[in-house]
Amino acid sequence: MWSLGYLRIPQQYGNLLLKTIYMLEKLALQKKFITKAQCSQALEACRGADNLDLALKNYFEKENILTDKQMKALLATYSALKIIQKSQVFGNSAVDLGFASKEQFLQEMARQKKKIAENRQPEFIGKIWVQDQTLTQEQYQEIIQPLRKVQPAQGPARASKPLADPGAEQPGAEQIDYSLTRELACGVMLEVDVSGMTAFIRKTGKFKDTVTAAEIMEQLEDNGIVYGLVEPFEVEKFIASSEFRTRPFRIAKGTDPVPGKNARIEYFFDTDPLKAVGIDEDGNMDFKDRGPIPWVKKGCLLAKKFPMTEASEGRNVFDQVIPGPAVADRPLKSGTGVVCASGGLEAYAQISGTPSLDQSGKIQIRGTFTVPTDVSFETGNINYNGDIVIKGTLKAGFKAMGHVIHVGTVDGGKIHATGDVTVSNGMISGNVYARGNVSIGFVQNATIYCLGNLFVDKEILDSRIITSGAVMIKTGEIISSDITCNKGLFAQHLGTEKSVPNIVTFGVDTFTDRELKSISNQIEHIMERQEKIHEELDSLSKEIFRRTANTLRLVHEIDHARQENFLLSKSPGASSARGLKSQIQVNKRLLVRLDKELNQMLDRIEEKKSQREKFKVEAAQLENTLEKLRSEQGNFTQWKQHNPGVAQAVVSGRVIPGTMINGPDVSMEILEIRNNVKIFQTRVTTGGDTASGIDIVDNTNRK
């Protein structure tokens, strides 16, 4: 409950009715339709009613307190008073802005008041003036806009607003009009502003200086002004003063509420990783590049919450609580792989992986990045520093780069994996590079490079395979393909009668050789770049030194001009002698120019320094890359030593004539159909000479 003088209104009735009830009650009391006690009783009796207006009306009728006619009269008077008040404010503004004369205003107001006296409803002065073209529409808007109640500021909506109800109005958005103008019995006019935060009094013609401060205070209290009142001695000063007949005296002032702050969460990872489109080097939109997928290390700070600060409430002159603007809290929600610390104010990664923020604001981390659909224009390329699962198809023109990669189907896309690759269905065209094993349903018109073994279920057709391990297609066939494997080949059929024959190279580690060559090239390239960077750094350091030396001249010139001006300004008669004054002005202009020039030179030095910093960062990165490449070089060299080639092919079905077999040292073309054979490179002795040769033997026993 909050009090309004003697009238107590339950808060749940809402603020909206307050003014009406207050005015109605005032008018009813003035017209002596009701007593104060009756009013309080009515409100008490109607407490909790859905429609308070109707309940009150019914109550008054039932209790025979107010007749219908009295009620109507009250409401009509109330409405008329409101229009007059509004017209008064509007008219004053129009006069102030020079859109209407004072005479026009007074004349119109007199006409409206006459209407009231004749028991007719007055009209809003603004509407009349637009109709009779005293005001243009623009002038009307110019006056009315500032007079409109202040709306809540535009800006981000509060998170506390229910998400499921777009468009729902915020409660309490409507402003209550607290304005009041009333002549008190002690001869002062009481005026309360529209916000109810300030109350003024001024002396009327009836005011007598015999009135006491206590009387004024009592009458103010009778009218509900109870909060923020001035001290009695100030009221006494008001009484004693000869002023305040026109100028108002502020008798009470409310306390404004202090707004609080909404809770806020700052995220330290990319919350929206897949950009709409990227921009390529030429500035064109690149629908394939949607940026890297974020990856965080275990222990990394993911988000920080800044808690809300509550608003502190204010009070108006009627001692009503003015709540501060609502503040919204936001919980920091953590899901799988995320742990909250600092009393729920910070979220950290519990595992390394991809952080994500779901619709409910929960942060989660997954070690595997899953694409539920195809990799196409909708997703862009997938570049992820971890395991990837693509449930759909990797479409032509798109890439998936990651550690272990699982794909449904590859339809022309490219895979670059630092671990194993599994393609559940098959691969039609496209490219796979894997530093691990590759398992695949079938391969058609594709290229596969892999460090481990290649396992194929059905067939390899029109493809090129290079592997440091073995190629195993134990129940399928290889058709029109070029296969290079280090650890041998195991297939059911090698070629068909109608197809172009295969080329099989075994016992040769082309994959590792290519890797080593590529690493060597990269090392060479990096070392060249390092050399260039060192040259650049040297030259930049010299350039910075030279430019810094050049700035000296300007600095000296500035010092000189400044000193000269100082001396000139100190010379006797400097303020009056025209020559001196003009020299001082010349020097001042010179100083401005020199200051600008020196700033420009320093800008250029800073530019060079910033370039130098970038080169230093690049040099450090190159050093790091170089170290990694050297380590990689060592790893591949050791791998090659540990995995010598196995120059053999085991075919459980048929081998078609024309098939080209290449061993590490010798080649041979298959001339007739062979079934279930083992082909291998061996040492052949002919006439005392030993040479390498390809041998084909039946594999019946091995089967």
Residues 565-604 that bind other proteins (CB under 8 A): 565-566, 570, 591, 594-596, 598-599, 602-603
Q: Are 645 and 506 in contact (CB under 8 A)?
A: yes
Residue 679 vs residues 422, 483, 547, 668: alpha-carbon distances, Å: 29, 14, 73, 10
The contact mask relative to other proteins for 212-251 (x = CB under 8 A, - = no) is ----------------------------------------
Say which residues have a Cβ less than 8 Å from residue 111's Cβ, sequence separation at least 6.
Answer: none
Minimum CB distance to other proteins smaller for 80 or for 382: 382
Give the nearest distance from C-beta 224 to other proteins in angstroms: 32
Annotate 473-511 with three-state secondary structure: EEEEEEECCEEEECCCEEEEEECCCCCCCCEEEECCCHH
DSSP state of 148: S
Q: With CB under 8 A as the contact rule, which of the stretches 85-93, 384-392, 634-642, 688-696 interacts with other proteins? A: 634-642
Residues 270-309 that bind other proteins (CB under 8 A): 271-272, 275-277, 298-299, 304, 306
Residues 36-65 that bind other proteins (CB under 8 A): none
Minimum CB distance to other proteins smaller for 63 or for 623: 623
Minimum CB distance to other proteins smaller for 582 or for 610: 610
The token pair that represents 566 in the structure block:
């100082």
**6-8-10 Cα angle (round to 5):** 175
Minimum CB distance to other proteins smaller for 240 or for 276: 276
Question: How far is Cα 428 from Cα 690, in angstroms, rounded to an integer?
Answer: 45
**What residues are paired with 650 via a beta bridge?**
490, 678
Question: How far is Cα 20 from Cα 13, in angstroms, rounded to an integer?
Answer: 12
Give the nearest distance from C-beta 365 to other proteins in angstroms: 15
In the list 69, 578, 642, 703, the residue contacting other proteins (rule: CB under 8 A) is 642
Minimum CB distance to other proteins smaller for 179 or for 643: 643
Minimum CB distance to other proteins smaller for 213 or for 516: 516
Cα dihedral sign, 542-544-547-552: negative
Phi, psi of 57, deg, nearest 5: -60, -50
329 near other proteins (CB under 8 A):
no
Give the nearest distance from C-beta 589 to other proteins in angstroms: 14
Give the nearest distance from C-beta 618 to other proteins in angstroms: 14
Residues 101-160 that bind other proteins (CB under 8 A): 141, 145, 151, 154-157
Q: With CB under 8 A as the contact rule, which of the stretches 32-40, 218-226, 631-639, 693-701 interacts with other proteins? A: 631-639
The token pair that represents 618 in the structure block:
């690049």
Using DSSP, state whether 161 is helix, strand or coil.
coil
Residues 661-690 that bind other proteins (CB under 8 A): none
Give the nearest distance from C-beta 483 to other proteins in angstroms: 16
The contact mask relative to other proteins for 483-522 (x = CB under 8 A, - = no) is ----xx----------------------------------
The token pair that represents 659 in the structure block:
């098939």
Phi, psi of 610, deg, nearest 5: -65, -40
Minimum CB distance to other proteins smaller for 430 or for 488: 488
Residues 420-439 that bind other proteins (CB under 8 A): 420, 435-437
Give the nearest distance from C-beta 221 to other proteins in angstroms: 40
Say which residues have a Cβ less than 8 Å from residue 607's Cβ, sequence separation at least 6.
Answer: none
Residues 346-375 that bind other proteins (CB under 8 A): 357, 359
Give the nearest distance from C-beta 339 to other proteins in angstroms: 15
Q: Are 252 and 219 in contact (CB under 8 A)?
A: no
Residues 392-421 that bind other proteins (CB under 8 A): 418-420
Residues 150-209 that bind other proteins (CB under 8 A): 151, 154-157, 161, 163-167
Residues 545-564 that bind other proteins (CB under 8 A): 548, 551-560, 562-563
189 closest CA partner among 154, 214, 216, 169: 216
Minimum CB distance to other proteins smaller for 109 or for 301: 301
Question: How far is Cα 66 from Cα 56, in angstroms, rounded to an integer?
Answer: 10
Minimum CB distance to other proteins smaller for 214 or for 620: 620
Q: With CB under 8 A as the contact rule, which of the stretches 268-276, 308-316, 341-349, 672-680 interacts with other proteins? A: 268-276
419 closest CA partner among 388, 465, 397, 441: 388
Q: Are 96 and 133 in contact (CB under 8 A)?
A: no
The contact mask relative to other proteins for 444-463 (x = CB under 8 A, - = no) is -------xxx----------
Minimum CB distance to other proteins smaller for 74 or for 470: 470
Minimum CB distance to other proteins smaller for 2 or for 267: 267
Question: How far is Cα 364 from Cα 354, in angstroms, rounded to an integer?
Answer: 8
Give the nearest distance from C-beta 194 to other proteins in angstroms: 19
Q: With CB under 8 A as the contact rule, which of the stretches 42-50, 97-105, 636-644, 680-688 interacts with other proteins? A: 636-644
Residue that has been written with the tokens 């052949």 in this structure: 684
Minimum CB distance to other proteins smaller for 461 or for 647: 647
Characterize the bridge pairing of strands 689-698 and 674-686: antiparallel
Cα dihedral sign, 28-29-32-36: positive
Using DSSP, state whether 185 is helix, strand or coil.
coil
Question: How far is Cα 563 from Cα 590, in angstroms, rounded to an integer?
Answer: 13
Q: Are 315 and 321 in contact (CB under 8 A)?
A: yes
Give the nearest distance from C-beta 159 to other proteins in angstroms: 8
Query: By CB under 8 A, how many residues form the interface with other proteins?
Result: 81
The token pair that represents 428 in the structure block:
């039609």
Give the nearest distance from C-beta 560 to other proteins in angstroms: 6
Question: How far is Cα 336 from Cα 404, in angstroms, rounded to an integer?
Answer: 21
Minimum CB distance to other proteins smaller for 359 or for 685: 359
Phi, psi of 177, deg, nearest 5: -90, 115
